[in-house]
């Protein structure tokens, strides 16, 4: 046997999905997350897999892990104390940022305080011109003074971001070498080794984010490697990346920003795999976990990518799967504000104590408790038996909110769900507007522990008529780790006009990036991995202050120009083929596909689906509906709503007038 394991840590549960490549068997389970002891939950999940399913951990050939350690470090402000070494006269780069407020229509909007305090932004004397020519050499005395100041302020690391280093990194390299000599105990990152692209603030912000999370990420990955070794897993661990790919855990200790959004990206990649099995080309994904709801788009079965994603209020300028997140998960707490309005989130009960119905000491009402009060939850073990539901605790928690609102218990529970759904509706609406989505050709894929509970209601509000619920919706993020390919994205700023004289320099830049990409792939060390390289460029019309990425199959002068004009027309509905064009950045993405995941179809149905009857509160009244257990459903079974489908990792609510059909792979397609 040869097992492949994917693990994803969420706010409430840690999910594990294991695939036996010999038989096609897929095993999955959940354990409660341990934010107080990161890594202990992964070790427990592995031990449970071996115990429950008799898996010999020595047979594990691939272990992929998605983690939120980095992003949680930023959100909770628990990162390293950093010093920023910047060109003298430009030490306020993080303070100035882009002079844009988070909400242009709010009089009370505030930008988050920089991760490097003003007194730790230290000047370095020396100046590089935008052309890459040295105007003034680095003054070693200024570097020594900055190192001494960083030590005096108790900094654990140094991030070097010097002016115009994207064009010529020589000054950053020289400063880093002197720092290593003067202070070998301090970790050092250069902005050009993290993201060597134009624009000082974006480059500085991304490098600072990398340094800020580095100690906690590196420590976590070291503990993970030790835990896997102790468990007998010989496969070198891979870490999922923000771009939907994977990299070696050792690389993640330095490339920390590359894995900040690994958990959310994994969910989208898992959903893409499910969509391919179901024959779906265009989809919106709804991943509702314990603390958040994450929404994304799939076009032609592919995840959409973006740069400039927001992490804890700070822009992250590395390619990542385009995902929007809001604080509306199954553990999001329902509360009443000073004006008597019902709100849900963003605070979450997490895994400790968790929703009240988990019976772990939680007393505040959550979205999960609202569904428990309505009789929808509690008909199967929660989290693969990790939680034994306490319905009385849910009623007490929701009752406290109901008394403040002056509403009945059941009406309050349904209102909590409606408020959460409205937040998801708003996030989807913004995403659809930005991307000009045609709803007639769209399927909503609902997954995560709470996604199937609200998925049909969200789709109904959006006007989407089809909802796909995966066979094991609660572990789709872990599944995404199983199917993720090895991927890396590299960038180089060139700032060249698209003219015949510039073509040799463009090809030279792409060749250098391709060489670096293939060297990186060798470093990953995945057996048998052969990389496919994709070329693109960030381009704009001369005079524009923004650029768009243009994929390039051919790289002749005419092909590059035609590709840009076509892409500009797609994005902005107009193009000007006569206008001069600039190439800002060259990009290369290297991808080495993961081994295909064989997921044999289920045997077809030979009898009507078994069911029982339960009473739930739906659409303002108590109703008798059919209850189905997901593990009894087979391809060809048809379920008519209203109905509840219970399984070990989630519960699915089919609304009135809906019809669910079980597909060959066990996924459920719901027509509203």
Residue 537: its pLDDT value, please? 96
In angstroms, the CA 517 to CA 488 distance is 7
Among 19-23, 164-168, 177-181, 559-563, the range scoring the smallest mean pLDDT is 19-23
Please determine, for residue 600, whether its predicted confidence score (pLDDT) is greater than 80: no
pLDDT tens per residue across span 426-471: 999 988 888 878 888 899 999 998 999 999 999 999 999 999 999 9
Torsions phi, psi for 265 (to 5 deg): -65, -35
Among 26-35, 326-335, 663-672, the range scoring the smallest mean pLDDT is 26-35
Centroid of chain to Cα 84: 27
Residue 345: its pLDDT value, please? 87
Cβ neighbours around 273 below 10 Å, total: 20
Please determine, for residue 526, whether its predicted confidence score (pLDDT) is greater than 70: no
pLDDT-derived band at 39, boundaries 50, 70, 90? confident
pTM: predicted TM-score of the whole model, two decimal places: 0.87
Among 143-147, 214-218, 529-533, 611-615, the range scoring the smallest mean pLDDT is 529-533
Compute the average pLDDT of residues 526-530.
61
In angstroms, the CA 349 to CA 378 distance is 19
**Could you tell me the CA-to-CA distances from 502 to 560, 599, 620 in Å, in that order?**
12, 49, 67
In angstroms, the CA 448 to CA 15 distance is 10
In angstroms, the CA 342 to CA 235 distance is 49
Q: Are 283 and 267 in contact (CB under 8 A)?
A: no
Please determine, for residue 70, whether its predicted confidence score (pLDDT) is greater than 60: yes
Residue 528: its pLDDT value, please? 57
Residue 156: its pLDDT value, please? 97
In angstroms, the CA 1 to CA 19 distance is 10
Contacts of 417 (CB under 8 A, 6+ apart): 367, 370, 371, 374, 453, 454, 457
pLDDT-derived band at 498, boundaries 50, 70, 90? very high
**Could you tell me the CA-to-CA distances from 418 to 114, 340, 356 in Å, in that order?**
36, 16, 19
Please determine, for residue 336, whether its predicted confidence score (pLDDT) is greater than 70: yes
Centroid of chain to Cα 129: 37
| H or E element, residue 238 | strand 237-240
Radius of gyration of the chain (CA): 26
CA atoms within 13 A on the CB side of 595: 18
Maximum CA pair distance of the chain?
83
Q: Are 663 and 605 in contact (CB under 8 A)?
A: no
How would you classify residue 541: left for phi > 0, otherwise alpha for psi between -120 and 50, otherwise beta?
A: beta
pLDDT-derived band at 602, boundaries 50, 70, 90? confident
Compute the average pLDDT of residues 392-408.
95
Residue 525: its pLDDT value, please? 66
Residue 243: its pLDDT value, please? 87
Q: Are 203 and 191 in contact (CB under 8 A)?
A: yes
Bridge-based pairing state of the strands 548-552 and 643-646? unpaired
Please determine, for residue 10, whether its predicted confidence score (pLDDT) is greater than 80: no
Nearest Cα to Cα of residue 371 among 386, 382, 360? 382
Compute the average pLDDT of residues 575-584.
96
pLDDT-derived band at 314, boundaries 50, 70, 90? confident
pLDDT-derived band at 360, boundaries 50, 70, 90? confident
Contacts of 45 (CB under 8 A, 6+ apart): 7, 14, 15, 16, 29, 30, 31
In angstroms, the CA 504 to CA 147 distance is 41
Compute the average pLDDT of residues 542-565.
94
Q: DSSP characters for 139-178?
A: -HHHHHHHHHHHHHTT-SEEEEE-TTTTT-THHHHHHHHH
Strand residue runs (E) in 470-620: 486-497, 532-541, 548-552, 581-592, 612-618
Between residues 242 and 654, which one has the greater pLDDT? 654
Residue 249: its pLDDT value, please? 87
Q: Are 52 and 384 in contact (CB under 8 A)?
A: no
Q: Are 596 and 628 in contact (CB under 8 A)?
A: no
Compute the average pLDDT of residues 633-661.
94
Q: Are 206 and 194 in contact (CB under 8 A)?
A: yes
- Average model confidence (pLDDT) across the chain: 90
Please determine, for residue 379, whether its predicted confidence score (pLDDT) is greater than 90: no
Between residues 291 and 560, which one has the greater pLDDT? 560
Among 6-10, 72-76, 331-335, 665-669, the range scoring the smallest mean pLDDT is 72-76
pLDDT tens per residue across span 622-637: 999 999 999 999 999 9
């Amino acid at each position: 046997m040869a097992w492949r394991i994917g693990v994803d840590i969420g706010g409430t549960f840690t999910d594990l999905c294991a695939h036996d490549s010999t038989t096609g068997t897929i095993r999955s389970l959940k354990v409660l997350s341990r934010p107080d002891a990161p890594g202990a939950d992964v070790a427990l999940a592995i031990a449970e897999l071996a115990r429950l399913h008799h898996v010999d951990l020595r047979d594990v050939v691939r272990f992929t892990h998605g983690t939120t350690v980095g992003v949680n470090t930023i959100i909770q402000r628990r990162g390293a104390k950093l010093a920023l070494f910047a060109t003298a006269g430009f030490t306020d780069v993080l303070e100035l940022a882009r002079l844009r407020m988070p909400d242009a229509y709010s009089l009370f909007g505030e930008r988050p305080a920089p991760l490097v305090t003003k007194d730790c932004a230290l000047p370095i004397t020396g100046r590089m011109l935008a052309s890459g020519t040295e105007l003034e050499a680095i003054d070693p005395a200024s570097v020594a003074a900055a190192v001494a100041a960083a030590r005096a302020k108790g900094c654990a690391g140094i991030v070097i971001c010097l002016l115009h280093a994207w064009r010529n990194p020589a000054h950053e390299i020289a400063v880093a070498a002197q720092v290593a000599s003067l202070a070998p105990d301090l970790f050092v990152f250069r902005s050009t080794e993290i993201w060597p692209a134009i624009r000082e603030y974006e480059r500085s912000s991304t490098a600072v984010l990398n340094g800020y999370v580095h100690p906690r990420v590196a420590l976590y990955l070291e503990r993970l490697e030790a835990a896997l070794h102790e468990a007998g897993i010989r496969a070198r661990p891979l870490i999922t990346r923000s771009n939907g790919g994977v990299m070696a855990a050792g690389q993640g200790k330095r490339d920390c920003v590359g894995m900040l959004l690994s958990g959310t990206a994994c969910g989208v990649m898992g959903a893409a795999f499910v969509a391919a099995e179901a024959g779906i080309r265009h989809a919106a994904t709804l991943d509702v976990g314990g603390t958040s709801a994450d929404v994304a788009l799939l076009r032609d079965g592919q995840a959409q990518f973006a740069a400039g994603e927001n992490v804890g209020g700070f822009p992250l300028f590395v390619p990542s799967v385009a995902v929007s997140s809001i604080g509306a998960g199954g553990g999001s707490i329902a509360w009443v504000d000073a004006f008597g309005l019902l709100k849900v989130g963003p605070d979450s009960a997490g895994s400790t104590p968790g929703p009240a119905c988990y019976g772990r000491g939680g007393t505040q009402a959550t979205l999960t408790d609202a569904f428990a009060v309505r009789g929808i939850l509690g008909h199967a073990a929660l989290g693969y038996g990790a939680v034994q539901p306490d319905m009385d605790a849910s009623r007490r928690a929701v009752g406290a909110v109901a008394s403040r609102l002056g509403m009945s218990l059941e009406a309050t529970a349904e209102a909590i769900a409606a408020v959460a759904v409205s937040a998801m509706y708003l996030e989807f609406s913004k995403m659809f507007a930005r991307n000009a989505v045609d709803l007639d050709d769209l399927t909503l894929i609902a997954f995560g522990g709470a996604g199937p509970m609200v998925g049909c209601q969200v789709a109904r509000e959006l006007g989407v008529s089809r909802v796909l619920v995966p066979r094991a919706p609660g572990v789709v993020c872990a599944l995404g780790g199983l199917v993720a390919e090895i991927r890396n994205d590299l960038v180089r700023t060139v700032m060249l006009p698209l003219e015949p004289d510039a073509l040799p320099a463009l090809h030279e830049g792409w060749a250098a990036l391709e060489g670096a990409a293939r060297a990186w792939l060798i470093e990953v060390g995945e057996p048998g991995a052969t990389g496919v390289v994709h070329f693109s460029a960030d381009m704009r019309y001369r005079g524009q202050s923004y650029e768009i990425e243009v994929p390039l199959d051919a790289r002749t002068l005419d092909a590059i120009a035609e590709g840009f004009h076509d892409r500009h027309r797609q994005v902005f509905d107009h193009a000007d083929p006569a206008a001069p064009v600039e190439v800002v950045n060259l990009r290369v993405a290297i991808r080495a596909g993961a081994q295909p995941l064989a997921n044999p179809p289920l045997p077809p149905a030979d009898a009507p689906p078994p069911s029982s009857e339960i009473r739930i509160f739906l659409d303002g009244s108590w109703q008798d509906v059919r209850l189905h257990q997901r593990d009894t459903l087979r391809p060809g079974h048809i379920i008519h709503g209203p109905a509840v489908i219970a399984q070990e990792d989630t519960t699915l609510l089919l609304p009135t007038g809906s019809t669910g059909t079980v597909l060959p792979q066990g996924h459920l397609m719901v027509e509203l």
